[in-house]
Amino acid sequence: MGGVASRHRRPRGQRRLSLALAFGACLIAMAGARAEPQAVKASSSIGDFMRVYGQATAPYGWVQFCQSNPVQCREWRSTESRVPATSQRLAELDAVNRAINTAIQPATDIEVYGVTEYWTLPSTRGDCEDYALLKRKVLIERGWPAAALLMTVVRDETGDGHAVLTVRTSNGDYVLDNKAPDMKLWHATPYAYVMRQSYLNPHVWVSLDPSQGAEPSAIAGVRKPGR
């Protein structure tokens, strides 16, 4: 994927991403695998901050990603888990969300890697969790605390499995989503929230489902993928 590198020029995929990070803005839609369990439906009456309902099993896709990319899964270096929601910070979130949605073209893991689920940092193509992982990486490189940038598994408005990046701010929990150009507070999305990373430890996942029902069997990398 991406262009051929030379001694003086970056690969095409990296040049394209850099350009998009400065100027890009468009809408890209993606859907994940079908999900089965119940999860809390976002509602403006719940509040701007997500509520946790206990521990959850980390998605297989995340575990696999960390095995292949240990630098991206290091223990939190900072205890800061909420970022002040200044206009500058929120503008930066919006710019990163739009830029990466523009730079990466939607494609399923079957199309790109030949497997049903594979979490990775994309260069030119990827699916929902790949967008979220790249946004997380870019924001960390820009100085955002990793503990405030949490991978999150949801069911979308059609009931399909989906992954987004949740950003913890003093104004509430914002969602960066490859299916929408605008970032939104979590309760302003049409999603049912299933689980996300703990802000205390990147390897611990917590449930966002008040029913604490059965484990999701086929949603955004929870189950080991088949070929």
Distances (CA, A) of 99 to 60, 177, 208: 28, 12, 28
The whole-angstrom separation of Cα 187 and Cα 175 is: 9
50-207: which CATH topology?
C8orf32 fold (3.10.620)
Q: Averaged over 99-103, what is the pLDDT?
A: 97
- H helical segments located in the chain: 12-23, 60-68, 87-103, 109-113, 128-141
Average the pLDDT over 121-146 and give the result: 96
Q: What is the pLDDT of residues 197-216, one digit of tens each?
A: 999 999 999 999 988 644 55
Distance separating alpha carbons of residues 176 and 179, to the nearest angstrom: 9
Residue 217 pLDDT class (50, 70, 90 cuts) = very low
Q: In this predicted model, which residue has the larger pLDDT, 219 or 63?
A: 63
* Domain boundaries of the chain, sorted by first residue: 50-207
Residue 118 confidence (pLDDT)? 95
pLDDT at 75: 85
Which range, 32-46, 67-81, 101-115, 209-223, has the best average confidence (pLDDT)?
Answer: 101-115
Tell me: pLDDT of 17 over 90.
Answer: no
Contacts of 6 (CB under 8 A, 6+ apart): none
Query: Does position 12 have pLDDT exceeding 90, yes or no?
Result: no
Task: Give the H or E element holding residue 198.
Answer: none
- Over residues 79-105, the mean pLDDT reads 95
Q: Is residue 14 scored above 70 in pLDDT? A: no
Residue 129: C-alpha distances to residues 59, 163, 219 (Å)? 11, 5, 11
Q: Is residue 16 over pLDDT 70?
A: no
Query: Are 195 and 151 contacting, i.e. CB atoms less than 8 angstroms apart?
Result: no
Give the C-alpha distances (Å, rounded to integers) separating 214 from 37, 57, 118, 158.
6, 11, 23, 20
pLDDT above 90: percentage of residues in the chain: 67
- Mean pLDDT calculated for residue range 23-33: 32
